[in-house]
Amino acid sequence: MKKVFLRDVKEKGSVADSFLVTKKETGVSKTGKPYLNLRLMDSTGEVEARVWDNAEALAKCFDLDDVVTVRAFGVSYQGRIQLNVSDIYAMKEGEYTLRDYLPASKKDPEEMIAALDSVIDKMEDVYVRALLRAIFSDPDIRDRFKLAPAAKAMHHPYLGGLVEHVLSICSLVDVVADHYSKEYETPVHKDLLMAGAILHDIGKIYELEYHRSFGYTDSGRLIGHITIGVELVEGKIRELDSFPEELAMHLKHLLLSHHTLLEFGSPKRPKTLEAVLLGFLDDMDAKVNSVMDIMDKTVEGEDWSPYQRMFERAIYTKRPVVNREPVADSRGSTETGQSPAELSSAQENGGNKERTETEKETCGLKGAEEKSEDLDLFSQ
């Protein structure tokens, strides 16, 4: 069982554990001695590593994308931790759990797929419900769907990210469909929109490779998830009895148009009410997840993230304080026993003290710079 994770590796610390090899290159030092240039990864991050001694022999003990057992120690190089590896060899299938080595959703995949089943079971449209049950009763589709990332880099780029993204949009559909059905005479076809939310990215279970490192399959590169998804849905519709042709057309349009713009890869732009809604909901959920991830990864104490290529800007990560009005009793005292005037004075003094402490802490620190930084492994 894996015990040491990369986030815990320190300078001069010994490491004896397993990692995923995401880069393997051979180099020659200035003295003419061969060495290995590696990148090792687990669910908490990645690190550069070098094999300086016995490199040629050790290179035969493992391949790129292998999970390997490593003996090493941490060194500091250009301000970052790097591993100097003394021994490394490949582990066998069944000796490890993939979730230890790739980024994974914090939510349990079995619970998420069960939640998806519940969403499907509550649908009123008998044809939509039957189609979705047929799709997710397929063992291969089901297993892939609960494991797949939603993307290689842009949003939800981790195991279980696809089903997490889908469930998030389903929750939004619950609110948005009911809201607009009440606001206008023309109701939203909620089950159709929900089916679009569930199926819009289903082609990614075959577009993306995620059994070792994240990448694209041949069909992903040549065909893409939108076409793969439409073909999958169309095949399942043909297996059902008398699925309405117009409903099938609406559903396929949702998949074909959910990227909203031709330059974003959509074969069609949204031309129905449900397609317009799905495009906005999908885009919103993807961008919110990306911003949350940026905020989580920003160095503690910094108010600005590095420059983000996806948004073409840095993100301000300092969160605003929620200022709640104190509740006063009949004597004018607040819950704390202070009058509003006393409370205001105390808050002002406290605020001044907090500002003073903050100024001390940040004195001498370099200001945030909007400069382009290397993105994570999956963006490259």
CATH number of 102-294: 1.10.3210
Residue 2: which residues within 8 A CB-CB, separation 6 or more? 17, 18, 42, 96, 97, 100
Confidence of residue 112 (pLDDT cuts 50, 70, 90): very high
* pLDDT in the model for residue 265: 78
Return the DSSP state at 249.
H
Report whether pLDDT(187) > 60: yes
Report whether pLDDT(355) > 50: no
pLDDT, tens digit (0-9, with 9 covering 90-100), for 242-283 = 899 999 999 999 999 999 887 777 899 999 999 999 999 999
CA neighbours closer than 13 Å in the CB half-sphere of residue 132: 26
pLDDT, tens digit (0-9, with 9 covering 90-100), for 198-252 = 999 999 999 998 877 788 889 999 999 999 999 999 999 999 988 999 999 999 9
DSSP string of 338-367, one letter each residue: --HHHHHHHHHHHHHHHHHHHHHHHTTPPP
Tokens of 6: 């990369």
**Going by CATH, does the domain composed of 6-99 fall within 2.40.50.140?**
yes
Report whether pLDDT(44) > 50: yes
The percent of residues in the chain predicted with pLDDT above 70, rounded, is 86
- Where exactly are the structural domains of the chain? 6-99, 102-294
